[in-house]
Amino acid sequence: MTLNRRDFLKVSGAGAAVALTGCATQSAPTVAKANPHVVVVGAGFGGATCAKYLRKWGPNIQVTLVEPNDKFVSCPMSNWVLGGMKTMDDITHGYDNLPKHGIKMVKDYVVGVDTSNRVLKLKSGATLNYDRLVLAPGVEIMTDFVKGFKEAEAAGKVVHAWKAGPQTALLRKQLEAMPDGGVFVMSVPAAPYRCPPGPYERACLVANYFKKAKPKSKIILLDGNPDVASKPALFKGVWNDQYKGMIDYRPNNLPFAVDGNSMVVSTEFDDVKGDVLNVVPRQKAGQVCELAGVRNDSNGIWCAVNLATFESTTVPGVHIIGDSVLSNLPKSGHMATNMAKVCAAAIVELFAGRQPDPIPVVANTCYSAVSDSQSGYVANVFRFDKEKGYVSQPEGGATAKGDDLNFAYNESWAQNIWAEVLG
């Protein structure tokens, strides 16, 4: 099986395909019961925010949040750990405040979804009945698309570190242990993928670390895209200025194989040897989306939804938010929180017997550090149009250079959004 970009490309240009808005499949407003029950799966940026706002805006709604992990580990800012600017403790937070909003937390894994009877099956053997289900699982890494990846990953020879956690800490240790003059090989998956500027920020922050601690070292950046996929002026500018000769950027070089014994990454053009390997494979909607039957694009990879409510276009009563959604919106933590609020508001309206807002507005702000003292950003506002999907509004855009002030804003953004999601 090969992953084509047909679904992504048709929604990433001037207008989204009408089919993706899914207006014909939107649930009719109905009052489910006096105290309807919503189950939210995944307590990341999208899921935790949605659960919180369901309780804020629908105090009669019972909300259960299913999450297998004890702690929230932030993918945004995890590159700062790789660059030696933060620790894992700095990006790890507890869920203690969420129950204060009346949210029932269940620490468990989802192993089955009966969408006909609206029942969720958990690994513990328990079941949860729901009136509406919200899935916010993030992404699943498609390691099968890179030959040898699973074996090399199991041996600790290659990591993706695209889900913040143990692999982030391991990759940092590998970078620290790498000799001065070593080669760090990292890759960028073909779009769409979680956090478009993330790989390029990672290259910058590792280069910043090398510049100070291992100045003879080099980064080979293998990009599965024809050019830098996000903030190209920002990243190319800093590569040519602060990290000149340190980052070897190679577009149209998608890894298809990894050999953990010889420490070689293979693309269509080259066999690239490195001392530390950080290969990020392509991604798809989280596993629970498959269990619910909502990976419904032409490749069975992403989730097509009604973008005004984030309800699946094929499975009534199931909403999907965050990185798993097929749309022209960026797959970012900030955007996931905005999707969460639109989804929560729509569910509240549907339970109240009213039509949800037909033209919701969402916003995205994404900061990228390019050194240990400078950051740049991209910021956009998107308004929903039933014919075009979400349309970027005028005056949004990205900075061409990083600076100290935006670095301070970057740190403040992280603290504020963590408080918004978990507070």
Give residue 34's pLDDT.
86
CATH number at residue 131: 3.50.50.60
Same domain (yes/no): 67, 18: yes
> For residue 344, which amino acid is it?
A
Same domain (yes/no): 137, 13: yes
Give residue 124's pLDDT.
98
Give residue 32's pLDDT.
53
Give residue 395's pLDDT.
86
Give residue 2's pLDDT.
40
Is residue 343 in some structural domain?
yes
Q: Look at the chain and report how many structural domains it folds into.
A: 2
Is residue 24 in some structural domain?
yes
Same domain (yes/no): 124, 153: no
Give residue 290's pLDDT.
98
Is residue 307 in some structural domain?
yes
Is residue 395 in some structural domain?
no
Domain of residue 83 covers 6-141+285-357
Is residue 419 in some structural domain?
no
Among 301, 335, 357, the domain boundary falls at 357
Regions in the chain scoring below 70 on pLDDT:
1-32
pLDDT in tens, 254-308: 999 999 999 999 999 999 999 999 999 999 999 999 999 999 999 999 999 999 9
Long-range contact pairs involving 56-62 (C-beta distance under 8 Å, separation at least 24)? 56/101, 57/344, 57/345, 57/348, 58/344, 58/347, 58/348, 58/351, 59/102, 60/34, 60/35, 60/36, 61/35, 61/36, 61/37, 61/347, 61/348, 61/351, 62/35, 62/36, 62/37, 62/38, 62/104
Is residue 422 in some structural domain?
no
Same domain (yes/no): 118, 175: no
Same domain (yes/no): 153, 60: no
Token pair of 359, please?
A: 């033209």
Among 261, 278, 295, the domain boundary falls at 278
What is the model's pTM? 0.92
Same domain (yes/no): 156, 218: yes
Q: How many Cα atoms occupy the beta-carbon half-sphere of 341 within 13 Å?
A: 11
Among 240, 259, 278, the domain boundary falls at 278
